Structure 1
Amino acid sequence: MTPSPSASSPAPWADRRILELFGIQLPILLGPMAGAGTPELAIAVARAGGLGALPCAQYTAEQLVAAVAAFRAGAPGLPLNVNFFCHVPPARDPVRALRWRSRLAPYYVELGLDPEETPPAGGRTPFDATFCTLVEELRPEVVSFHFGLPEAALLARVKATGAKVISSATTVAEARWLEARGCDAIIAMGLEAGGHRGVFLTQDPSEQTTSQVGTFALVPQVADAVAIPVIAAGGVADGRGVRAALTLGASAVQVGTAYLFTPEAKIPAVHRAALEEARDDNTALTNLFTGRPARGVLNRVMREVGPLSPDAPAFPTAGGALAPLRAKAEAQGKGDFTNLWSGQAARLAPRLPAYELTLKLAADARQA
């Protein structure tokens, strides 16, 4: 799996800022999808000429070290993006947790589970001093963040390693905020994107879901508002989407959902089946699985509870009470309680291994 001549030769990209900033050949970034991303996926994208990524929000320190080592062995000399979340763990709220468990109790009874049994803790780990020390030791070429940026002292340590820093913005205001704090590039994340919204300047649930902007309205406004390169994310699943984003002012694209179809992605069978049925109109933003809005394919619990519920505990703890239901349903071949993350353009995605998909996205964009 070596880069093809078309990937390794200079490409006619009008805006080469991201290519030069990250040292890559194609303006294709792998979306760092927590839970689904693997070193094998990152390796394939990197070897095709794009930027590979590792999703670290669900890694332990030991798992991060092992994942980076696997990438370095499989893609020697190629740049790597490691991605972290920047949320603040919520204060314990036993009343809300009990209300959430009561809301889910009928499902426990239906599946033969004990609703009184203490569910596992759900969660994702925010970027902290421990992970910062690992970044200093592992020295990835790119460090990306979701939900803003870490505190200034930690961010300064990351930048001191020489790593390029990027983060997601869902509005022009967030993009300007990130630029003012030293980001080297900005991911303009449109409403179409699968997985967690990168909103961070507002904590108002209604603003996190209703006052949001689509990718192809957001990208040119962000490109006009900041001086640093812009990376488009959301609704980009084929070469036409890549070309459209570049035409509107993006220097590159970040692709997530299309890579979920690849054999290198790690998702359960029920998720793969749901992706094959994903359409433009059957995904929704939901807070049920983690406590924070994220886009996924509609399933039973989203329909019956409602995709957005005030009873869902604060991010990232909501998923704990759903975990036993998810395990029991998946064992029966059902995705009723599984977070089926997907963007709105899933059915546009070519069904290819990650290396071939990366090359195709770039080649089709050139011809579009």
Structure 2
Amino acid sequence: MDNTNLYNQVIQNYNSKASIISKYRGTLSDNSIIIVSQNEDAIIVKQKQIQCVLKSGKYCFSEFNFPKVLGEKFQKDVKVDLYELFFINKIQKITVDWGTNHPLQIQEQNTKIFLSVVAYGQFHLFVDDSEIIFNQIYEYPDLIGDDEALKDYLFNQFINYICNLLINTITQKQDDILSISSDTVNLSKQIEKNISNVFSQYGFELDCFTILNLQVQQNKQFELLQRTIQKNEQLSKLCQNSCSSPSTIVVGDFSNCDQIQIGSSNSQQSIGLNTEEINSMIQLILDNLSIMQLENFKEDNILHEIQKINDELNKKRPKREIILKAFGSIKSILEGIAGSFVASSLISKLELFK
């Protein structure tokens, strides 16, 4: 900035690439002429209070009507050296790099498991309201004339808003986090839409907000999610197999076996033990797996035995012994669970498959 012309007392910011906020370091006088370009605003401050925001134009202190509000303030008996002058660059784009300070804890909606998520990106700002911005920045002198310090300040001001919006936006989406992390473009647009008003309250216009990368940290919770997804897929497949097996085939010779009505815990009604009963028993076990909260290896073993039964049912000549043995293995696993009413109920039903 060419601060002043000593002869003409002309004050003008000649550098279009000057800092976002620049302070005139000279002394104002009654004959000072301020030239404000189309790309900036000028702000006159007295005792830490904004006296006037000057838009594009030429202003001379000696004129009584410059403008009227200033004409009244700049009387001859007032010391003009009490006034400060600042220029606000309105065309300089402010690019701020952002990143999560610590992993965000976001609940995956399908499994309700909390995952650690990290993200980083950029946002671009332009000055929209010089007065609002200046009122916030003025109390931090180190930010004036230092754009890098200003960017750090803006990062600290807005990072909490960004993180909270990330958590809320991802949580509200129906998709799982793993699929969202690969679609940062749409997620960026959603965040930009919701955070624009926050920036405007600080006097900035948001030009663009981007998430350059979003990752789920591969820790124990991530491994739990992977196992749960895999298990859910396996459960879904087993349920489909149970529902699709024909119910008219009588498996082996169960003529001497006690009968059970799967839908009732106390029923002794005879309904004929065929694949429909077997599939109903399987479905009952699957429906109650999550309720029993078994250890992973026990749950995996039960699913393995159910898979054996389904595989056998899909054969042309299924063997009674294999099906009964698999049910017996499931019963043995459930017998190792202490104090579970659900497990006890299932055991009593499995007693009939022997």
Report the TM range for the smaller structure's normalisation. Answer: under 0.3
Q: Which has the larger radius of gyration?
A: 2
State the TM-score, normalized to the length of structure 2. Answer: 0.19
Which structure is higher in strand share? 2
| Larger relative contact order (Cα-Cα within 8 Å, sequence gap ≥ 6) | 1
State the TM-score, normalized to the length of structure 1. Answer: 0.18
